[in-house]
Amino acid sequence: MNATDPQHAVEPTASPEPAGPAAPVEPTEPQLASAADTFALLASPARLHLVWLMTSGTYDVGALAERVGLSLPTTSQHLGRLRLAGLVSARREGRRSFYSVDDPHVVRLVEQIFEHIAPDGTLAPDPLEKA
């Protein structure tokens, strides 16, 4: 076999083509970094609990601290990090700040993870697999 023979040339290995009508656009490095940072923030059970609470309502720091079982300063620190990341928003009324999650993407992300995890912490079965 002659390596220069076009009939026997080995094609370079290509990435597999995604299935479906249109190939998804691969995320950029900045998108990947931002997504990883978001997941890192939500990797804290306390912050995830805070975000979960705020997906269904608006709370002040005291109410959030009580619900999550944290001190006011610790809760404020968590809220500050979440706010800086743009995951939660705050509005002031007098001396009090009220926090909520207004971004529907964040709401859906949190809803989806808890749809996927059973109350005992195991992965919930896929609803499509019910037979």
pLDDT of residue 23: 82
What average pLDDT does the chain have? 87
Distance between CA atoms of residues 8 and 128, nearest Å: 46
Higher pLDDT, 22 or 100: 100
pTM: 0.76
Phi, psi of 68 (to 5 degrees): -90, -15
User: In residues, how long is the chain?
Assistant: 131
Higher pLDDT, 122 or 19: 122
Distance between CA atoms of residues 32 and 51, nearest Å: 21
Phi-psi region of 94 (alpha: psi -120 to 50; beta: other; left: phi over 0): left
In the chain, pLDDT over 70 holds for what percent of residues?
A: 80
pLDDT per residue as tens digits for the range 10-31: 454 555 555 567 889 999 999 9
Q: Which fold has domain 41-117?
A: Arc Repressor Mutant, subunit A (1.10.10)
pLDDT per residue as tens digits for the range 33-74: 999 999 999 999 999 999 999 999 999 999 999 999 999 999
